[in-house]
A and B are shown apart, each in its own frame.
Chain A
Amino acid sequence: MDFEDPDFLTPEQKLREQEVMARCFILMRDERSRYEEQAQKLLVSEFFFSKSGIYDLSYLIQGDRYICKGNPQSSLIQSFSIEAPIPDTQEEKIEALVELFAQSEAGLIH
């Protein structure tokens, strides 16, 4: 570990980083229409729930932020939350949610 090293990552973690981020980008491309539908639902009801692999994913709107909470079905696995600012335009709002959905489904980089 070194402050000058922006990564802190071992070669194995670097590989895992690439895998997870690639999965996220593939999801953004391949699941776009599903994510756009989910985004519309979330913007209307301010809450959306889904399951992805080992995680229960809850999405909500709180103040000026989107929030995602990922709770694993096993207590041995890390839980996570993501927060993102809500942009101004409708197009940007949908785009930010597409990325939020993809990141939360892609999983964590261990």
Chain B
Amino acid sequence: MKLQRTVGLLIIISLLNMNPALGSQSSTKEPKPPCRLQVGIAHLSTDLFEKFRIVAVKVNASSICNVPQTNVTITVEIWKTGLLGNHFVWKQTINSLGTTYPGSQVNNSSTYKRCVDKTLTHYYGVSYSKALIDGKWQYARHVLSNKIEPLKCGT
């Protein structure tokens, strides 16, 4: 009787291991996405203030993939918070037609908006991207800055 129970248990265990749907909780892992998109915190670009008396709010984003990709498009949006909802400030999309090799980084570092005064304003960035990987379009969902930053920058 004990032997029958043991054999039965072994059969069930082996079936669970063979069928991925049944055994998914125990052994399978979510595949890692091939690309990682990250967006920085909105910040003031003050390097040119002494020369031009101009300050700008800026957000950078960066994408890195572990597979070759082509037609990489990265969009960065700058937003500010407001009493009656958030306000769109500026958006820039860059599109690189060539092939980007695994491990190399593609940046969108060109999204900035000049400050018109020193009004304290809360800014954040949003970024999304797409690329052709293995002949198929792959989309990276919207990523937000992990902090909303108060900056002395009215736009």
Which residues of chain A have a CB within 8 Å of any CB of chain B? 1, 3-9, 13, 17-18, 20-22, 25-26, 28-29, 75-76, 78-85, 95, 99, 103, 108-110
Contact = CB atoms under 8 A, between A and B. Distances in A.
Given A8-B61, A18-B48, A25-B54, 8 more contacts: A3-B38, A21-B56, A22-B51, A78-B97, A79-B97, A80-B94, A85-B87, A108-B94
Given A13-B109, A20-B110, A85-B89, A78 B95 contact: yes
B96 A78 contact: yes
Nearest to A79: B95
B24 interface: no
Contact of B109 (A9, A75, A95): A9
B130 interface: no
Nearest to B40: A6
Contacts of A109: 109-110
Interface string B28-72: 000000000010111101011001101010011110100000000
Interface in B85-103: 87-98
**Chain B at the A interface: SS class:** strand
Interface of B: 38, 40-43, 45, 47-48, 51-52, 54, 56, 59-62, 64, 87-98, 105, 107, 109-110, 112-114, 116, 146
B84 to A, nearest CB: 15
Contacts of A85: 87-89
B40 A81 contact: no
30 contacts: A1-B62, A5-B40, A6-B41, A6-B43, A8-B38, A8-B60, A8-B109, A9-B109, A13-B107, A18-B48, A20-B110, A21-B47, A21-B56, A25-B48, A25-B52, A26-B52, A28-B114, A75-B97, A76-B98, A78-B95, A78-B97, A79-B95, A79-B97, A80-B93, A81-B93, A83-B92, A99-B114, A103-B112, A108-B110, A110-B107
